């Protein structure tokens, strides 16, 4: 049972398990079990009422062996150092599995952005960059959006860093607005990446994608674009949901119409021709493909036995507990893990950084075709590992990634 472990202990357990499966030396685990460096900072902010409030922030570099650290910054009341460290390790493995030249990083600030004015949020964002300034840079560490940070926050990050440097440095963060060097195709990148993975996985398990039935949990950035993309493959999206609940129509929903409806009404509930279901019911529907694309830990030891899909593609980060993963695999369900299935986002962030460094910008078609190549190749490599070692796809994804990091460690002469 791993569900009660802290996020860091969980990821350490996963690293150890994979090092053993690959027959790697203990020294590789010793190097990878903790981040290379962590910075804790205090950020004083002069609030609108004239008082000063100090916020605690973190930035962790789990690994810079394969390239500069890459990973988002989370503004949330529940941010902890343990979680930031674990998330930085996940970024190392996510970048490694798609073979982009990055290590893993993550940051966070303990705050509730919903209680801050725009002015206070801007001051906090700029203060965070001043505090971690020595740790970041286009060749060192490239932050990006995460929970409750967005393109505007990235614009402030980039501006503050550029002011400190004395010249424009768009390559220091990704997820920026297009006008400041953001990439075309970034908004739909994670969902599009999921779509390529669904297509490839369906071929491998002999699932006819045409008219295959699909349930998508969550219809935000990831779930919305995944639903659109999977429908374009010819599949029938029969269920979608948001935080208020889900909708179901066995004859198929039009994802574009559902997303438009949600934009207008604030929820998918009440979409014409659909019947309301709960988020829990959505997970257990009799469908071919399930895409959890909202929250972590929604498929657990309690409900895994009731999942009926043949293929689960993890759009969200950590939607399946390790215990549930074992149950699904035991039932013969093909599970494509988050570090592969949702790596389209970081891949297009990488394209954004490359374009910033070149000062030469690609069309959306170029972005999507490069994304397709990377996702398809990564899927194939993980699938080969899954067959070669007779392991589940989650272990296989970590094995592909950790093998790459371990090779680099050895070539550098660290062990």
Q: Does residue 317 bind ligand NAD (CB under 6 A)?
A: yes
Residues 371, 190: Cα–Cα separation, whole Å: 10
Best CA proximity match to 59, nearest among 25, 78, 36, 77: 36
Least distance from ligand NAD to the Cβ atom of residue 232, Å: 18
Q: What angle do CA 116, 294, 271 make, to 5 degrees?
A: 100
Q: Does residue 243 bind ligand NAD (CB under 6 A)?
A: yes
Q: Which is nearer to ligand NAD, 171 or 315 (CB)?
A: 315
Q: Which is nearer to ligand NAD, 65 or 194 (CB)?
A: 194
Residues 179, 312: Cα–Cα separation, whole Å: 37
Question: Is residue 303 classed exposed, middle or buried when 0-12, 13-18 and 19+ CB atoms within 10 A define those classes?
Answer: middle
Q: Does residue 314 bind ligand NAD (CB under 6 A)?
A: no
Q: Which stretch binds ligand NAD (CB under 6 A): 15-23, 127-135, 218-226, 250-258?
A: 218-226
Give the one residue of 120, 242, 288, 381 binding ligand NAD; rule: CB under 6 A: 242
Q: Which is nearer to ligand NAD, 291 or 405 (CB)?
A: 291
Q: Which stretch binds ligand NAD (CB under 6 A): 26-34, 177-185, 203-211, 241-249?
A: 241-249
The number of residues making up the chain comes to 415
Segment 321-380, which members bind ligand NAD (CB under 6 A)? 342, 345
Q: Does residue 63 bind ligand NAD (CB under 6 A)?
A: no
DSSP-H helix ranges across 46-176? 81-98, 118-132, 151-165
Whether 106 is catalytic: yes
Q: Output the six-digit token pair for 166.
A: 């004395």
Q: Does residue 315 bind ligand NAD (CB under 6 A)?
A: yes
Q: Output the six-digit token pair for 398.
A: 């970590």
Give the one residue of 218, 229, 255, 337 binding ligand NAD; rule: CB under 6 A: 218
Q: Output the six-digit token pair for 191.
A: 């969902």
Q: Which stretch binds ligand NAD (CB under 6 A): 19-27, 47-55, 219-227, 366-374?
A: 219-227
Q: Does residue 57 bind ligand NAD (CB under 6 A)?
A: no
The interface mask with ligand NAD, positions 272-311, x = CB under 6 A, is -------x-------------xxx----------------
Q: Does residue 241 bind ligand NAD (CB under 6 A)?
A: yes
Least distance from ligand NAD to the Cβ atom of residue 186, Å: 8
252's CB contacts (< 8 A; 6+ apart) are 236, 237, 238
Q: In which order are the strands placed within the sheet that holds 52-63? A: 37-46, 52-63, 103-110, 69-76, 141-145
CA-based R_g, the chain, Å: 21
Q: What angle do CA 32, 33, 36 make, to 5 degrees?
A: 60
Residues 176, 153: Cα–Cα separation, whole Å: 8
Q: What angle do CA 70, 76, 81 make, to 5 degrees?
A: 60
Residues 2, 415: Cα–Cα separation, whole Å: 30
Q: Does residue 221 bind ligand NAD (CB under 6 A)?
A: yes
Give the one residue of 64, 190, 249, 321 binding ligand NAD; rule: CB under 6 A: 190
Q: Which is nearer to ligand NAD, 137 or 220 (CB)?
A: 220
Which member of 70, 85, 106, 262 is catalytic? 106
Least distance from ligand NAD to the Cβ atom of residue 84, Å: 14
CA 8 to chain centre: 17
Q: Which stretch binds ligand NAD (CB under 6 A): 253-261, 313-321, 361-369, 371-379?
A: 313-321
Q: Which stretch binds ligand NAD (CB under 6 A): 196-204, 312-320, 365-373, 404-412?
A: 312-320
Number of shown-chain residues binding ligand NAD (CB under 6 A): 20
- Residues in a beta bridge with 143: 71
Q: Output the six-digit token pair for 102.
A: 């990055």
Segment 127-146, which members bind ligand NAD (CB under 6 A)? none
9's CB contacts (< 8 A; 6+ apart) are none
Residues 83, 38: Cα–Cα separation, whole Å: 12
Residues marked as catalytic: 106
Query: Which residues of the chain form contacts with ligand NAD (CB under 6 A)?
Result: 190, 217-223, 241-243, 279, 293-295, 315-317, 342, 345
């Amino acid at each position: 049972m791993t569900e009660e472990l802290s996020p860091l202990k969980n990821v350490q357990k996963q690293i150890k398990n994979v090092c053993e499966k690959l027959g790697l030396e203990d020294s590789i685990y010793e190097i990878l079990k903790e981040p290379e460096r962590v910075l804790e900072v205090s950020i004083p902010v002069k609030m609108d009422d004239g008082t000063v409030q100090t916020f605690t922030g973190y930035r962790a570099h789990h690994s810079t062996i394969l390239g500069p650290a890459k990973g988002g910054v989370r503004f949330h009341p529940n941010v902890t150092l343990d979680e930031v460290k674990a998330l930085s390790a996940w970024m190392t493995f996510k970048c490694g599995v798609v073979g982009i030249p990055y290590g893993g990083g993550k940051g966070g600030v303990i705050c509730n952005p919903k209680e801050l004015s725009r002015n206070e949020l801007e001051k906090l964002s700029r203060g965070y960059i001043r505090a971690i300034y020595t740790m970041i840079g286009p060749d060192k560490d490239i932050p990006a959006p995460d929970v409750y940070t967005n393109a505007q926050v990235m614009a402030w990050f980039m501006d503050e860093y550029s002011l400190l440097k004395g010249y424009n440095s768009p390559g220091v963060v990704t997820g920026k607005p297009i006008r400041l060097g953001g990439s075309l195709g970034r908004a739909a990148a994670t969902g599009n990446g999921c779509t390529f993975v669904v297509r490839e996985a369906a071929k491998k398990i002999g699932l006819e994608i045409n008219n295959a039935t699909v349930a998508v949990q969550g219809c935000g950035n990831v779930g919305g674009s995944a639903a659109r993309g999977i429908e374009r493959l010819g599949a029938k999206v029969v269920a979608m949901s948001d935080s208020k609940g889900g909708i179901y129509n066995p004859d198929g929903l039009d994802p574009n119409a559902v997303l438009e409806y949600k934009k207008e009404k604030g929820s998918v509930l009440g979409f014409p021709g659909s019947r309301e279901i709960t988020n829990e019911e959505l997970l257990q529907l009799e469908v071919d493909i399930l895409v959890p694309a909202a929250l972590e830990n929604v498929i657990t030891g309690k409900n895994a036995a009731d999942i009926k899909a043949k293929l689960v593609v993890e759009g969200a980060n950590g939607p399946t507990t390790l215990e549930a993963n074992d149950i699904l695999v035991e039932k013969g369900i093909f599970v494509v893990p988050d570090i592969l299935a949702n790596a389209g986002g970081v891949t297009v962030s990488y394209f954004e950084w490359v374009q910033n460094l070149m000062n030469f910008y690609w069309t959306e078609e170029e972005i999507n075709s490069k994304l397709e190549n990377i996702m398809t190749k990564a899927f194939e490599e993980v699938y080969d590992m899954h067959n070669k070692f007779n392991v589940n796809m989650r272990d296989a994804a970590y094995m592909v990634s950790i093998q790459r990091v371990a090779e680099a460690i050895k070539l550098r002469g660290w062990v």
